[in-house]
Amino acid sequence: MAKKPRFFSAPKPARKNLPAGAEAEIEKFSHDMRGIARVSGKAVFIDNALPGEKVKFRYSARRSKFDEGAAQEVLQPSPQRCEPRCVHAHLCGGCSLQHLVPEAQIAAKQKVLLDQLARFGGIEVPELLPPLVAAPFGYRRRARIGIRIVGRGAKKTLVFGFRQKGSNDLTEIDECPVLHPLIAAQIPRLKQLVGESDGRAYFSQLEVVVGESAAAIVLRHLKPVTAADRERWLAFAAETGIHLYLQPRDAASAHKIWPGDGEDYLTYDLPEFDLTLRFHPLDFVQVNAVINRQMVARAVELLNPQAGERLLDLFCGLGNFTLPLARRAGAVVGVEGEGGLTQRGVDNAALNGLRNVSFHACDLTQSIESHPWAAGGFDGILLDPPRSGALEVVRRLARFDAKRIVYVSCNPATLARDAGELKSLGYSLVKAGVMDMFPHTDHVESIALFKKTR
């Protein structure tokens, strides 16, 4: 195991012309889980610092309205501080909160959700749903590991890992306790394999993903893989049982080279709904399989589909919510901007014998009213948009006269903005809560139920 670094080692040298370090008392968290202090009357956002702590920090940036810094020493620790499990946590951008106990992490995320709804939407939550939580380690079933050669001549060095905090540089890793064990166990071997490959200078990343019964690795290479390298990687795949894909260009060019038979897909199950969904290793799927199952069950419970109802699932992907809803409702329409994912949805519906569901590709930032699938209205609507939210489509939802809307969000700020828009359309927020999809990070996943009140 690599020698453990000091927890407060600076990720990179401080910029020149910055003042020397100072002491500060941390008042509260920012929305991105940095400690906020006031030094000489000016706000300072401090990495690795927790509310209630007194720390010694170094400045990393100075701005007109606020400064930034990173804690170097904790003079008075919070009782919620813990020792990070990962030796790379001080530097790696994959996790930013391993120094905070998991129970306090989800409580802080819940506060962010409530604060953002109040600030940007002018909305209070009448009923707070219990947080959805699961094991905080070994949960990531998909990740992207970067590969770079740095330096020149004899000083060239391979760097294999994730991005550093606040930087595009990579952190060299030897382990990752948040990755699924099937992949985490192979990190030393993968790192060695990349280093031994003739074409390592033309490898840019490994996409790793774990399905229900198999794992896969997609090697992105900028020049053709040599015959010797192909044999090296095939031997690794055969020995470990991990499916191997090569990707010479864009995502569409990715193709499986081991095993030589079978389909180019992995699967995941939603057993509560008796569903198996197929996906390509480069398709979007939620990173946390356990939380995803809980989230789908909660979304279906909140939307409360009835046998005779027609539902709309916007930003539906490959059917993660669409198909479970179809198990309960009379008919479900899934709409997604990416045509490849809608086709995957069609295939998954057929795989599971569902005939009351249809999938459509549509740009959801544009008008949707004229599409044939939009005719007839809907009893309930589910939205699961990207971080930018769904403002354009939310403004058009009133015409469907849905009684219930469930909004699944990965960004509380855009959820709050869109909640304000829904309020103006006659919908009231009834319930909301957070989901710990990404433990040890500042990502806040949430779900909210709105009902038509006028």
Give the annotated binding-site residues for S-adenosyl-L-methionine. 286, 315, 320, 336, 363, 384
Report the SS3 class of residue 27. Answer: coil
* Closest-CA residue to 389 (of 154, 121, 179, 196): 121
Contact, 272 vs 292, CB < 8 A?
A: no
Q: How far apart are CA 267 and CA 327, in angstroms?
A: 19
Query: Is 410 known to be catalytic?
Result: yes
Q: Which two tokens stand for residue 357?
A: 């569901």
Contact, 321 vs 296, CB < 8 A?
A: yes
Catalytic residue selected from 82, 316, 362, 410: 410
Phi, psi of 386, deg, nearest 5: -70, -175
Q: How far apart are CA 237 and CA 214, in angstroms?
A: 11
Query: What's the angle, vertex CA 302, arms to CA 299 and CA 305, rounded to 5?
Result: 90
Binding-site annotation: residue ranges for [4Fe-4S] cluster: 86, 92, 95, 176
Q: Which two tokens stand for residue 348?
A: 């998954």
Sequence-separated (6 or more) residues with CB below 8 Å from residue 346: 359
* Closest-CA residue to 331 (of 377, 263, 367, 362): 377
Binding-site annotation: residue ranges: 86, 92, 95, 176, 286, 315, 320, 336, 363, 384
Q: Which two tokens stand for residue 293?
A: 């199952």
According to DSSP, the residues that pair with 45 across neighbouring strands are: 36, 68
Query: What's the angle, vertex CA 345, arms to CA 339 and CA 348, rounded to 5?
Result: 145
According to DSSP, the residues that pair with 170 across neighbouring strands are: 163
Phi, psi of 293, deg, nearest 5: -60, -45
Three-state DSSP string of 332-380: EEEEECCHHHHHHHHHHHHHCCCCCEEEEECCCCCCCCCCHHHCCCCCE
Contact, 98 vs 185, CB < 8 A?
A: no
Q: Which residues are catalytic?
A: 410
